[in-house]
Structure 1
């Protein structure tokens, strides 16, 4: 179980009729806050929580108030003010020092707030916008492309205020090469709730018993790989087979694929060799490229290198600025 939205909704979908449920959402923040507007969690009638709306400081009180929403069938509006010494959140030791506004909406058999549609869209790896009416039991999801990077925000309409939250499926990463150093890459990505695919044509590599958390293991690098990447909406690729010929074959197969990012393990001159063997110019590739792969966090062991590469992919996909890995950049 991760805190990713699709995992939370999967648990709710499997148990939605066996107990009561409440959707908790941060709809506004002022000052510093651990989670921002659009953050969600689910609470069920057994007192179980899925997801986080704070760093763990407020969840016990949120769960207590969720019971009130279940009993009344009405939304419960909460405010936690970390700047007020008389406020509960201050007494609980909330360290961020900001103000957090939370809405608890009960889910019913006749009104799932659009979470069923949202879950189905995430299963299909579709993006869209999720709408929740503030201080009401109303919500719906609209699938479609997201334009721009505007975060969750409140829209003022004639019928009231609505929180609009952009929804994107969790990243899907294709790892080319199933050696020892690929194991922590797959493991960490799985812990983050990302989808993973591993491909390696060598029988001794990418064995299922060594990659129990890999979503899919493929054995062929050919034109079908590009079709797979397109159909399964792969976001990023890591070339880490330690074989120039295998990395070359993968790059040649994926050069026109609709991925967003490619990381190449090793120094820059090695990736130049891969480009030359594939007969491809770097300028011909439409996706972002990290060579050498990852961020410079000073790691040398496989686990640290895996963390570095996945951090670089995270930064690339979520448009955050970060320092590139220069330690491996020697020619």
Structure 2
């Protein structure tokens, strides 16, 4: 599950006849922090929580603040300043060197807009933008006010904030969140513009013993995992308990039975050369994001030669999306180590990062945003 899915599951499990809850969301950050804007945790009055807004140093205090919010019934923004390495206001020297704004909203179990916004707008294979007001001097735009941008329309009354749609379009196109300050006739309004990306789909072609750890590791990242093979004797669901779908498909049935779009990553790893080649031919007809092929370079070169002999020439786009051999060079030998190598490279591809050692990286771990704090 993704973190949002876990939070929704936790919310649905709350018995609101006996207890209340609150949702905390990181909405603004300056400097460094373990979690980025958009990180969430759901808390209940019995002291339990799901999700996280830090590496463990803020959750206890957030729980205490949440109790005040639950009693008042009104959302509140809490600022955590960890710029001072020796600061001990929270009981620990955090040393994160960041300023973090966290919006805490009460949950009653009925008409919880903050939860329903997540539930309604997490669409399969669709990017959505969720603007959220977390600071407001405008009496007509309360803290907790939300909108939805689906790539075409900005749903909700935006007449007071005229520039909001333009910023939502930018967020949608760049797939990056932002924090914006708007001036309105009745005061300033600060909005966290969050981008909720669709769940990554992973399709594993091949159901050998080494496919299982790949499926398991991908599932821990919250990906939707499908395992398929043309050998019926190998495609038993009990072999892949973490997979969302295990199916027996011949290669000619792949295109009509699997979701293969720009949000899909494919790993071809059956160890059967002819099956793998046939799968690659099918995948070249789709818009999948990445095609990873297990095996040595000479095996891929042999495939290229056969494709060329059949008159199938790869475009530049095809070449850029194919990774063969798939995986990072980490000295992997066992199936579990190879799974780490494969999933780590896919993650770096999806996030457009270098997959190099952080020790060698100049500057901060995460890209810094230009954020002003008042």
Alignment-derived partner of residue 140 in structure 2: none
Distance in 1, Cα, partners of 2:2 & 2:14? 17
Residue 299 (structure 2) aligns with = 270
Segment of structure 1 superposing worse, 121-130 or 64-73? 121-130
Equivalent residue of 1:259, what SS? coil
Q: Give the corresponding residue for 1:137.
A: 144
Does structure 1 retain, via aligned residues, the 8 Å contact 2:124–2:199? no
1:54-69 matches, within 5 Å, as 54-69=54-69
TM alignment of 1:189-268, pairs within 5 A: 189-230=218-259, 234-268=263-297
Gaps of 5+ in 2: 136-142, 153-171, 358-374
How far residue 182 of structure 1 moved from its aligned partner, in angstroms, is 0.6
CA apart distance, 1:256: 2.0
Which residue number corresponds to residue 11 of structure 2? 12
CA distance in 2, matches of 1:195, 1:26: 25
Helix, strand or coil for the counterpart of 1:134? strand
Are the aligned partners of 1:28 and 1:37 in contact in 2 as well (CA < 8 Å)? Answer: yes
Contact 1:230 1:257 in 2 (8 A): no
Describe how 1:33-182 pairs up with structure 2 within 5 A. Answer: 33-84=33-84, 85-89=86-90, 91-108=91-108, 111-135=111-135, 136-144=143-151, 146-158=172-184, 160-182=189-211
Mapped to 2, the partners of 1:283 and 1:193 lie a distance apart of 31
Relative distance call for 1:221 and 1:285 in structure 2 (3 A) is farther
TM-score (norm 2): 0.78
Q: Report the Cα distance in structure 1 between the residues aligned to 2:183 and 2:249, rounded to whole angstroms.
A: 53
What is the DSSP-based 3-state SS (H/G/I as helix, E as strand, rest coil) of the residue aligned with 2:78?
strand
Contact 1:6 1:169 in 2 (8 A): no
Q: Give the structure with higher Rg (CA).
A: 2
Displacement, 1:230?
3.4
Q: Distance in 2 between matches of 1:166 and 1:276?
A: 42
What is the alpha-carbon distance in structure 2 between the residues aligned to residue 108 and residue 143 of structure 1?
28
Aligned CA distance change for structure 1 residues 178 and 131 (closer, same or farther; 3 Å): same
Give the direction of change, closer, same or farther, for the CA distance of 1:176–1:80 in structure 2 (3 Å limit).
same
Distance 1:225 1:157 in 2: 52
The one-character-per-residue Cα deviations of 1:185-242 (angstroms, maximum 9, x if unpaired) are 0111112211100001113323222211111012113344223443787520001110
Number of residue-to-residue matches in the alignment: 322
CA deviations over 1:51-104 (Å, ceiling 9, x no partner): 111001111111111111111111222222223345524x42323232222111
Structure 1 residues 99, 198: closer, same or farther in 2, change over 3 A?
Answer: same
Is the contact between residue 118 and residue 141 of structure 1 (CA under 8 Å) also seen in structure 2?
no
Change (3 A) 1:108 1:144: farther
Q: Secondary structure at the match of 2:57?
A: coil
For residue 320 of structure 1, what is the aligned residue in structure 2?
353
> Residue 248 and residue 261 in structure 1: after superposition, are their counterparts in 2 closer, same or farther (change >3 A)?
same
- TM-score, normalized by length of structure 1? 0.87
4+ residue segments displaced more than 6 Å = none
> Which whole-Å deviations, capped at 9, do the CAs of 1:100-150 have from their partners, x for residues lacking one?
221111234564335324324425332111121114132243333731133
Q: Following TM superposition, by how much is the alpha carbon of 1:307 offset from its aligned partner in structure 2, in angstroms?
A: 0.7
Paired residue secondary structure (2:74): coil
Shift of 1:313: 0.8
Residue 26 of structure 1 pairs with residue 22 of structure 2? no
CA distance 1:133–1:108, change in 2 (3 Å): farther
Stretches of structure 1 that go unaligned for 5 or more consecutive residues are 325-331
Aligned counterpart in structure 1 of residue 313 of structure 2, from 267, 273, 281: 281
User: For residues 144 and 225 of structure 1, do their structure 2 counterparts lie closer, same or farther at Cα, with a shift above 3 Å needed?
Assistant: farther
User: How many angstroms apart in 2 are the aligned matches of 1:117 and 1:77?
Assistant: 19
Cα distance change on mapping 1:168 and 1:17 into 2, 3 Å: farther
